[in-house]
Amino acid sequence: MEISSKENTHFFSNNTILPVDRSSFKSESSSSKEKQSCCGGIKIFLGALSFVYFAKALSGSYLKSTITQIERRFDIPSSLVGVIDGSFEIGNLLIIILVSYFGAKLHRPRIIGAGCLIMSAGTFLIAMPQFFMGRYRYERFPSTINSTVSLSPCLQDKSQTPLSALEKSPAKINAGCVQTVAIIGPIFGFLLGSLCAKLYVDIGFVDLDSVTISPKDVQWVGAWWLGYLIAGVISILAGIPFWFLPRHLPRPEGRKDSSTSSEHSKFITEENKDQGTSSWQQAKLAEMAKDFLPSLKNLFGNPVYILYLCASIIQFNSLIGMVTYKPKYIEQQYGQTSSKTNFVIGLINIPAVAFGIFSGGLIMKRFGVGVVGAAKLSLGSSFFGYLLLLSLFAMGCGNSEVAGLTVSYHGAKPMSDHEQALFSECNSGCSCSRNDWDPICGDNGVTYVSACLAGCRTSNGTGKNTVFFNCSCVRTFESSQSSSAVVGPCQKGKECPKMFLYFLVISVITSYTLSVGGTPGYILLLRCIKPHLKSFALGIYTLAIRVLAGIPAPVYFGVAIDTACLKWGSKRCGGRGACRLYDSSALRYVYLGLTLVLGTVSIFFSVAVLWVLRKRSSPQDEILSANGERGACGTKSRKDNFVHSDQLIQSTYWPEKETRL
């Protein structure tokens, strides 16, 4: 019989002395200490694991923030940069099978610690080419680099050495805690990318006063390597605690009799628990191998799972390609610097994604959304997200006016052969190279590929303050009265800042809308799979996303983007380098068009998922599923597809969610 608080007060207020059961007191004390020790161990493990997630997410997002920097530094096309980005997933696939197999048999915390060391070694390795390939050399007219050299930009004297020859000379808390940190990591990754992009690539190795380009120049390369060194150090620090954790965490006293068998509960186990004989393990392994093909057949015989898998693969192709080249698109379309682009993505887009994920989970929990409702919410999120993306086609900037590429030297549209259009009567007396990219801005507001191609005869000043005079091509452009020019390309049109603001607003809303459907889609996936196949199904799902989306999407997006290039750079050793100038309209249609086409195809598969669910379920199933009593994807497997609500909400992760912008 329970005693009320008032009775307790009256009882202990009397002077009655009762015997104390010391054995009971000791057992309660030891139980309390064991509980505190267990909770402390779990908190330490979750804190350390959260830091690992942070380090991994920071490294992955920083890689995407340095795409354009790497492209310019090593003079490579976007397609090759896509291969580099896709190799991040290839590395995961090479090790994931070994980790999955040995992880359950060996010391798990130390495996995580070793993984952190490998991750840090990888980030250090990415930065190494910066220290072995000499200093970065950008194309510049010699007089802008060294004031003692006096050469005419227009090389009328054939004995004068062109720039190309000079360039070719040799040179020297809890489980939600972990997922939250996985969202915070990319924010810091892009902010770190923004900071490093402001710093010159060879900072600490060259005199910065001698650098004649600014962050607004298309040839500017930031200190991309610095962020990888910082990420490597963070990965090392993240792995240190795991080398001091025990092999198993003690299970709380209240859970020792629990019948749960989830993977995370198996790790929290008693130190002295019998692991079974080797013969039993061999028999279990043989049974698992025998059951592999039937399980695979059962899984792929589920139409909801197959259709949702196809929809996810195609949608992730769309999203991964869009996110990978989003910094490049903003830089080329709106004339923004790499630093500002990364800052905007990290501070605006990623928080919108995090808020969208949170909102999706909140809607599911608040309104008790069932399996059909989850399918509707996921479909609606994708539909309205890609509908908003469609509006971005109208929010682009026109091409920069570049003589011989986007406009002729007389102000009219150029010829189809851009290489031939670089030469005109105004620079016919100059020995110019068509491979150089050393842009100058004429007083008429037109950019010229080089001072030589602008027909400039004299120059004054050094470095960024160099001014060119007597530029015959500047004077002939629509009968311009001026003939001078300054170093660097001209700014884009006046409408660009306004268009960029509109783009940011729609981009944030689109990021939020697409992210709302993430959690409902993941829960839909769980509810449509038999309990004993859930781990296997999620493994197949993750593997398919990485192989069929994470690896190929950056590659073919890069190939498509390369088709919009108007002016290619040239490597010092010969051959085609990185793209210097894109056709803004072509880039917009290729980048947004490919994203939208893939997204539209994924929507058709999502519609098919909803149709199958409606066909296989009844209104009663939906009501029961919404109330948490019973959830099923079909009337034939209601009992097998039961999932507790706490199991559904505890994990809201899907591949690469932290970088879905």
- Tell which phi-psi region holds residue 411, choosing left (phi > 0), alpha (psi between -120 and 50) or beta: left
pLDDT at 105: 67
Residue with tokens 């190799």: 87
The confidence band for 127, taking pLDDT boundaries of 50, 70 and 90, is very high
Half-sphere exposure (Cβ direction) of 246: Cα atoms closer than 13 Å: 15
The pLDDT of residue 29 is above 60? no
Question: How would you classify the pairing of strands 440-442 and 485-487?
Answer: antiparallel
User: DSSP secondary structure string, 610-646?
Assistant: HHHHHHH--HHHHHHHHTTS---SSGGGTTTT---HH
In this structure, of 135-149, 317-331, 623-637, the range with the lowest mean pLDDT score is 623-637
pLDDT digits (tens, 9 = 90+) for 538-578: 888 888 898 999 999 999 999 999 999 988 888 777 778 88
The confidence band for 587, taking pLDDT boundaries of 50, 70 and 90, is very high
The pLDDT of residue 319 is above 90? yes
The pLDDT of residue 236 is above 90? yes
The pLDDT of residue 162 is above 50? no
The pLDDT of residue 249 is above 90? no
Q: Is the dihedral of CA 359, 361, 364, 366 positive or negative?
A: negative
pLDDT digits (tens, 9 = 90+) for 261-272: 444 444 544 444
Classified as helix, coil or strand, 337 is: coil
pLDDT digits (tens, 9 = 90+) for 68-91: 899 988 888 998 998 888 887 787
pTM score: 0.79
pLDDT digits (tens, 9 = 90+) for 483-504: 889 988 888 878 898 999 999 9
User: How long is the chain?
Assistant: 661
What is the average per-residue pLDDT within 135-150?
A: 57
